[in-house]
Each structure stands twice: as C-alpha cells, then as structure tokens.
Amino acid sequence: MDKIIIQGGKPLYGTVSMSGAKNASLPLLAATLLVPGRHALHNVPDLRDTRTMLKLLETLGARWERDGGTVYIDTRYLNRAEAPYELVKTMRASVLVLGPLISRTGYARVSLPGGCAIGARPINFHLRGFEQLGAVITLDQGYVEAAIKGRLQGSVVYFDTPSVTGTENILMASVSAEGTTVIKNAAREPEIGNLVDMLTSMGARIEGRGSDCLAVHGVRELRPAEATIIPDRIETGTYLLAVAATGGKVTITDCRPAHLPALVEKLRSAGVHIEEQETTLAVSCPADPAGPVRRLRSVDIRTMPYPGFPTDLQAQFMALMIQADGSSIIHETIFENRFMHVAELQRLGADIKIDGSSAIVRGRPQHELCGAQVMATDLRASAGLVIAGLAASGTTEVSRIYHLERGYENMVAKMQALGADIRKIRE
Ligand code: EPU
C-alpha cells in the first residue's frame, strides 16, 4: 500500500491548475447510457473513481477510449443491465447508472451500496422517486431491481432533504418519460447544472436549472452528447485551504470561484486574502512582523447543501482551524459519521472535542502541532490530513492514500510544484 510522507512547515508558492470535477464526471459518464451512440466528454479527470465508472460502463457493454482529457464513450451496444457488487462496493456513485438504464432499457439491477465510512447513506429517495415515475422496485439478494412496462410516467418527486445523486438519477430517468416530471427540493450543486446542460444538449427539455425545483418535459428522442466537465470546486477549496494553512501565495487557475461562495467568505473572515476572477483565484496569507505568517482567526462553519458550506470541505477546514487563533465550532449536518479525521488530527496535537454533530476546535500555535503517523479513512478526511501535515512541523506519514487517489488528480505532483516537501512511497 502506498503512503504519503510530508515534511511540514513550508509555505506554498506558485500556480496550480484545477482538474475536472469528480462529482460531475460520474453522473455525466452515466448519462451516456441514455442513448445509443458515440459521446465525447472533455476535461474528465483521471482518477480511481472515474476509472471505476468507466469500468462499470464497460461491464454493461459500452466501449471507451481516452485521448488526453477527452473520453469517448460508445454506448451503441449494451448487453447487461446490472451494476455488480464488486464495483458498487468500491464506489457508491455506481448507483447513478440506475436512472439512465431504466430510461433506456426499462430494467436495471444494481447492488445496494451499504454503509460507508461517513454515514449510512441510504438510497431510499432514489428508489421512491423511480417508483413515483412508475417503476416497480424489488430487493433481491442485496440487489435492487427496477423494472417498468412501457415508458416511465412523469410525476412529482419530492426529496425530504436535497440529495445530489438522487436529483441526478431522477433527472436522467425522467428526460424520456411520458409527460412532465417535477423534482421538488432538488439539490442545487453546480454538478447538477453541468448534468442539466449535457442533457439539454442531448435534446432534453429541462426548466429550473440551478434552482430547487426542476421541471423535466419528457422527449421521445435524445442524441449523443458532447460535454465539458466543470472544474472541481472541492479540489479548488482543498488547495485554497492548504495555502491558508501553510502561508504563502498561490494562483489557482482553471477554477470557478463562483462555485465556492461559502468557503471564500469564511476564509476572508479568518483573515485570508483572496482575489477572485472568473476562472482564477489568487490566495495569500498576510505576513506578520513577528513571524513568517500571521495567525488566522477561528471561524465557525455549518455544512449545508449548496450554496451552503460543502460537507466535502469540512475535514480540510478543520485542518486549518486546528492552528487558528481562538475556538471554532464545526457543525456537520449532512453525514452522521463524518468526523473520523478528528482522532487522526489529534495525533498531530490538535485540540478537538466532539459533541454530537459538532466538533469544537481550540486552535493551537503552529509550532505546537507536530507531524505524526496518521491513517486516511475516506477521501476528504485524507485531504484534511495532508493539509494538517503540510502545516505541522516535522514528518507526517499518511497511510491508506488510495482514498485520496479516488478524487484528487496528481495531488502529490501539484503540491510538489508549489514547493511542498511531499512524496509518495510504496510500503
Ligand atoms: N439521503 C437519504 N436518502 C437518500 C439519499 C440521501 O437519506 O436516498 C441523505 C444522506 O444520507 C445525506 C443527505 O441525504 O444525509 C445528502 O446526501 P446526498 O444524497 O446529497 O449525497 P450523495 O449524492 O450520495 C454526493 C457526493 C458526495 C457529497 C454529497 C453531499 C457524488 C458522487 N457524491 O453524495 O461526495 O458528500 O453529495 O454533498 O456526487 C465526496 O466527493 O467525497 C463525496 C462523498
């Protein structure tokens, strides 16, 4: 198993370019199943998760090839309608093939994902939505089967709480349903806008892009797509936080600052200097006459659906707050078990107490945080540990970094180019 070794305490300087978004690539790749043909997706990051999704498409009968950032997917011949346990257990987002498969073939069988490191994460909203569109759902030996006779029927689908992949699944299922489907309390994450744009370019008729109410007027025919994946806002936020934690000055290119309203606001409140342009962010920490970097102020966050503070940046934000001046309350409202990084950050000397769904972080001066051996528990927790290791003094060893490779393209090389002392070794 690979490990990351970090010698902390070095500020980051330079320019770093952002990759396409993992969480946009996954639904857009799944959407190519909707209609037979050759599709082209640009700016697809080469990650463990995008490779898993391509493998799943291949299992269903699709073929694909990659040329740089562009992936061509040929979905003319599908010979299977099942997402097997082996793939779903490594990537929950495999459930995204349910919507397009039911829409195209009237039948889909997908292994139930089960719990994961950050929470129970059921898919009941997806299944209830499919039922509302007329599908019959059955559970058989750990697999969910969805079947319809004829076409799906437009309906009203209401989510108790906004679900990102739930909204994407119902969107993909309903584009070719008979009549209109209204998705109420839909998630509004930018990745959904990316999917709406792709579906629209395929001939779908969708109203309400970017809002919590989407109206999908079913169409009889769709055409193959050519679409571009948006920049990864969570990767962008992770680099912003890394610079804030280590000090220095970095320009982040090929990003969409507009997709990170909550983080930018919180970082400014903490004292980080950020200049936004349409596709570029310049981030720096003010110098302190008494030391290399002025200590940032502690600020509270509460994770919320978009445009609120993203749960996918909570661990990385905590890694910043452990060295800020004062106390910060980090309230996690989306996933019930997303504090697995706390015990690892404590190994570096962080002062954190968990109280239900809140973590109370008392910041300590940077020199009191010292590198240690830590273990990554999930993708974003791993990124938090890397940030903490970059800022702490001494050596930090992060093991189980396959989590990190699920969602960050070339993170070690990108950090090295910014001057970080970080390397990957094989154990
Ligand atoms: N929920 C249900 N039932 C459902 C669906 C969701 O109770 O059927 C609950 C969840 O348990 C959670 C809340 O609703 O409490 C929101 O979950 P959501 O469905 O939005 O999460 P998701 O679609 O499974 C996506 C991202 C996650 C990200 C969350 C929240 C993808 C592929 N995954 O997951 O990304 O944390 O939205 O923003 O888009 C990551 O990239 O590291 C990651 C975990």
Q: How far is the CA of 91 from the centre of ligand 1 (A)?
A: 12
Please tell me whether residues 199 and 246 are part of one structural domain: no
Please tell me whether residues 251 and 120 are part of one structural domain: no
Pocket test for ligand 1, best of 157, 165, 169, 185 (most atoms within 8 A of CB): 165
Please tell me the residue having the least CA distance from ligand 1 atom 18: 163
Please tell me whether residues 267 and 282 are part of one structural domain: yes
Contact 342, 377 (CB under 8 A): no
Q: How far is the CA of 23 from the centre of ligand 1 (A)?
A: 10
- As beta bridge partners, residue 181 has 216
What is the DSSP-derived secondary structure letter of residue 186? -
- Using the atom order of ligand 1, give the atom closest to the CA of residue 118: 44
Please tell me whether residues 349 and 406 are part of one structural domain: yes
pLDDT in the model for residue 289: 59
pLDDT in the model for residue 337: 87
- The full DSSP string for 44-106 is ----HHHHHHHHHHHHTT-EEEEETTEEEEE-S-----EE-HHHHTT-GGGGGGHHHHHHHHS
Please tell me whether residues 222 and 236 are part of one structural domain: no
Contact 336, 120 (CB under 8 A): yes
Please tell me whether residues 242 and 218 are part of one structural domain: no
Please tell me whether residues 209 and 277 are part of one structural domain: no
Q: Residue 178 is encoded by which pair of tokens?
A: 């008979």
**Active-site residue among 116, 213, 255, 370?**
116
pLDDT in the model for residue 119: 79
The pLDDT averaged over each successive group of 10 residues in the chain (427 residues) is: 94 97 98 98 97 97 98 97 94 96 96 80 94 96 94 97 98 98 98 98 98 98 98 98 96 98 98 97 80 82 98 98 97 94 97 97 94 94 97 96 94 98 93
Please tell me whether residues 136 and 202 are part of one structural domain: yes
Please tell me whether residues 220 and 287 are part of one structural domain: no
- Using the atom order of ligand 1, give the atom closest to the CA of residue 334: 15
Number of domains in the chain: 2
Pocket test for ligand 1, best of 164, 195, 229 (most atoms within 8 A of CB): 164
Q: What is the domain extent for residue 334?
A: 3-19+231-425
Please tell me whether residues 287 and 303 are part of one structural domain: yes
Domain holding 307: CATH number? 3.65.10.10
Has this prediction a pTM greater than 0.95? yes
116 tagged catalytic: yes
